[in-house]
Amino acid sequence: MGVVTKAEQEALVAAACAARAQAYAPYSQYAVGAALLAADGRIFTGVNVENASYGLTMCAERTAVFKMVSEGQQQILAVAICTDNGGSPCGACRQVLVEFAGDIPIFLCDSAGNVRQTSLHTLLPDHFGPEHLPGQ
Ligand code: THU
């Protein structure tokens, strides 16, 4: 696992919790904020964006990843996710994170300020990744 400083961790957690206020979750009422630390030191945030056609909902984590890649970064060093109850990222988001990260720290935060640290390979062991495709 790469080294992330305490200051970086705190900045990431603060960014995820601040972003959460922008979540568009009128159907589930489950607001999620995510923040990624990219290799260039920038923090990219994302929120869940729901839709009246429920299946079109986008999770906060993938919103953040797609923003990061769109802005020219392809390496994630750490992730913070803020929800009401410290929920863990869904399977689809874990897979998308694996595309752009190694066994990075993941900080799961709740609205009371509690933070639990886990890691991407703990959440998605024995994963399928770019290394399994010929020529990658
Ligand atoms: N959600 C996320 O944003 N990230 C996850 O990893 C799990 C679920 C969102 C999707 C939906 O808007 C709401 O949480 C309830 O599922």
Burial, 20: exposed, middle or buried (Cβ in 10 Å; 0-12, 13-18, 19+)? buried
Residue 30 has pLDDT above 70, yes or no: yes
pLDDT of res. 2? 61
Ligand 1: which atom is nearest the Cα of residue 88? 6
Q: Measured in angstroms, how far is the CA atom of residue 108 from the centroid of ligand 1?
A: 13
pTM of the model: 0.96
pLDDT in tens, 93-130: 999 999 999 999 999 999 999 999 999 999 999 999 98
Residue located via tokens 């923090």 = 43
Q: Is the CB of 65 under 6 A from ligand 1?
A: no
pLDDT at 1 over 70: no
* Nearest CA owner, ligand 1 atom 10: 59
Q: Is 122 left (phi over 0), alpha (psi -120 to 50) or beta?
A: alpha
Could you tell me the distance, in angstroms and rounded to a whole number, from the CA of residue 32 to the centre of ligand 1?
Answer: 6
| pLDDT interval class at 136 (50, 70, 90) | confident
Q: Is the pLDDT of residue 135 over 90?
A: no
pLDDT tens digits for range 38-63: 999 999 999 999 999 999 999 999 99
Average pLDDT, the chain: 97
Q: Annotated catalytic sites, by residue?
A: 61
Residue nearest to atom 9 of ligand 1 (CA): 59
* Tokens standing for residue 132: 């399994």
The second-level CATH assignment, the architecture, of 6-132 is 3-Layer(aba) Sandwich (3.40)
CA-based max dimension of the chain: 46
28 lines ligand 1 (CB under 6 A): yes
- How big is the chain by its Cα radius of gyration, in Å? 14
